[in-house]
Chain A
Amino acid sequence: MKKSKYIADFALFCAVMLIAAVALIAGRSVRSDGTSAVVRLNSKEYAALSLNENAKLDVEGLLTVAVENGEVYILNAQCPDKLCERHSRISKSGETIACLPFGITVEIVGAEYDALI
């Protein structure tokens, strides 16, 4: 009788450990983000655009962020130098385009690179 109780206790202990281990591992591997473009205005996140869909986003009438075939570029910039419009299209995680006069940045976020230089 006693022996079978020990077995039951041991089985219970094993079950607890197994459930805990599975839950912990599952909880840790939650990061699986697709690639997107984060648009920030004066350091605050303004919008996030998926690179999987073509889109155009007007940022407060200051400029337009365009997504086309997985690449991001700027058009309709209202600043005098329009440097951001001349920037080559970006698509790799870590790449950024900025419009310093308006305090707008567009950063590609994804799993591959944390920064590109």
Chain B
Amino acid sequence: MSKTLKGLLAAACAAVVLITMLSGCQMPLKRYSISYTDTFDTVTVFSAYCSSYDEFSEAANAVHTELLRLHSVFDIYFETSSVYKLNSESKLESADKELIELTALGKEYYNLSGGKLNIAAGSLLRLWHQARAEDVLPNADALIKAAEHIDISKVAISDDDIIISDPDLTLDFGALAKGYAADKAAEKAIECGLTSFLLDLGGNIKAVGKKPDGEYWTVGIKNPDVEGEVDSQILTAVNALDVSVVTSGDYERFFEVDGKRYSHIIDPDTFYPAQLYRSVTVIAAESKIADALSTSLFCMSLEDGKALAKSLDAQVMWVTADGICEKTEGFIEYEKK
């Protein structure tokens, strides 16, 4: 064998060893994703970069188990859920710590939003849930009667117990539970060692880490004014790194009566669906905050909403009923250029 050939062979061997060493400490990461349809009456998509399917599968199971667990705490229609028990007995002793935490958060956001986010409005929301299922409007007198039982000051937390002093008052965590669950489930994925993933819990997005190629997770935000026209469907896209992005809109979970569209977000002051905006998108560090805020802002004036967002260090994009797009300065920085 000639010297040159030997040299080349040696070089090739050394290169192989070097590649194995360099890439060996960082296994090539592959993207995996899975979806679930059995929690929070919505679709959950969990995507992550992992070195093996086993690693992904372990984390995905942990995420799914946590979502199922929290769903069984907060589902108002689930007869064995803690909230169902609390609502039917107006009292829950030794309540789950998650339920105490979210009740406290609900009371806090009631004050911050000037009463626009009200977890105690269960009686009112129930009428709208029923109406939506039947594509009719609820009876106006029934709404007024139900609204007599939404006073959140009747809900008290005492040590581990939750006590409701109005037997007709019921709690509904629809505006908070998904965001809270997204935070908790993401913690499970992090505990499993994942560093790059995106959890989409029915529009509550939680993005953690960058992708292995250094790119951000990209969250597209739909244009609420356009339906079905593919090219103009996306309003903007944001780069999400260790934040949550949540949109409240009148284009998902809406219903129509006599050609008029009604959103699923009810203004506790008018007892009717809020009509100020087509959509409100919030970017915040925690999903529970983004979720609570998007619902609150949906019922608040632009001026009040901007002040609240600023005080909570959240970034917001509003699309008003007449299609005007308003953004906080910080929101623009998140947008994909």
Contacts and interface: CB of A to CB of B under 8 A. Distances in A.
A27 B219 contact: no
Interface in A67-103: 70-71, 88-89, 91-94, 96, 98-100, 103
Contact of B247 (A8, A89, A103, A117): A117
B198 interface: yes
Contact of B12 (A19, A31, A94, A115): A19
B50 interface: no
Interface stretch (B13-21, B161-169, B307-315, B324-332): B13-21
Given A103-B37, A105-B37, A115 B219 contact: yes
A11 to B, nearest CB: 8
Contacts of B34: 40, 43
Interface in A1-53: 8, 12, 15-17, 19-20, 23-24, 27-29, 31, 38, 40, 43
A80 B336 CA distance: 41
B45 A107 contact: yes
Nearest to A20: B18
A92 B8 CA distance: 49
Interface residues of A, number: 39
Nearest to A15: B11
Given A16-B14, A100-B41, A107-B45, A113 B219 contact: yes
Contacts of A24: 19, 22-23
Nearest to A88: B228
A31 B23 contact: no
B2 to A, nearest CB: 13
B5 to A, nearest CB: 13
A112 interface: yes
A70 to B, nearest CB: 8
A109 B247 CA distance: 21
Given A88-B227, A117-B246, 13 more contacts: A12-B11, A15-B11, A17-B18, A40-B34, A89-B230, A93-B220, A96-B35, A98-B43, A100-B37, A105-B43, A114-B217, A114-B219, A115-B220
